[in-house]
Structure 1
Amino acid sequence: MLQFGVRKPASDHRHRATAFGIVERDGLIACVRVEREAGPYFDLPGGGVDAEETEVQALKREFVEETGLDIAPLNRIAEASQYFVRSTREPVNNVGGFWTATIIAENPDAKCEDDHTLVWLDPTFALSRLRHDSHAWAVAVWLRRAS
Structure 2
Amino acid sequence: MRPRLQFGTPEQGLDYPIRPTAFGLVVHETHLACVRVDRGDRSYYDLPGGAIDGEETEEQALVREFLEETGMTVRPVERLGEAAQFFRRSDGEPLNNTGGFWIAERLSLDPAAKIEADHELVWLAPGAALQKLRHDAHAWAVAALLRHRA
| 2:92 aligned counterpart, secondary structure | coil
Cross-structure match for 1:131: 134
- 1:105 pairs, out of 108, 115, 121, with 108
Matched, 1:46 2:49: yes
Matched, 1:10 2:13: yes
The structural deviation recorded for 1:117 is 0.2
Aligned letter for 2:123? Answer: W
Aligned letter for 1:68? Answer: G
Runs of 4+ with >3 A deviation: none
Matched, 1:62 2:65: yes
Cross-structure match for 2:85: 82
- 1:22 pairs, out of 25, 50, 69, with 25
1:38, 1:51 → 2: CA distance?
A: 33
1:14, 1:36 → 2: CA distance?
A: 24
The structural deviation recorded for 1:128 is 0.8
The structural deviation recorded for 1:39 is 1.6
Structure 2, gaps ≥5 residues long: none
The structural deviation recorded for 1:51 is 1.5
Q: CA RMSD in A?
A: 0.8
Q: Percent identity?
A: 54
Cross-structure match for 2:121: 118
Matched, 1:140 2:136: no
1:90-125 alpha-carbon deviations (Å, 9 max, x no partner): 000000000000111111111000000000000011
1:26-66 alpha-carbon deviations (Å, 9 max, x no partner): 10000000011452110000000012210000000000000
- How many pairs does the alignment contain? 147
Question: TM-score, with normalisation over the residues of structure 2?
Answer: 0.96
Question: TM-score, with normalisation over the residues of structure 1?
Answer: 0.98
Aligned letter for 1:77? Answer: L
1:10, 1:38 → 2: CA distance?
A: 28
2:145, 2:47 → 1: CA distance?
A: 13
The structural deviation recorded for 1:10 is 0.7
Structure 1, gaps ≥5 residues long: none
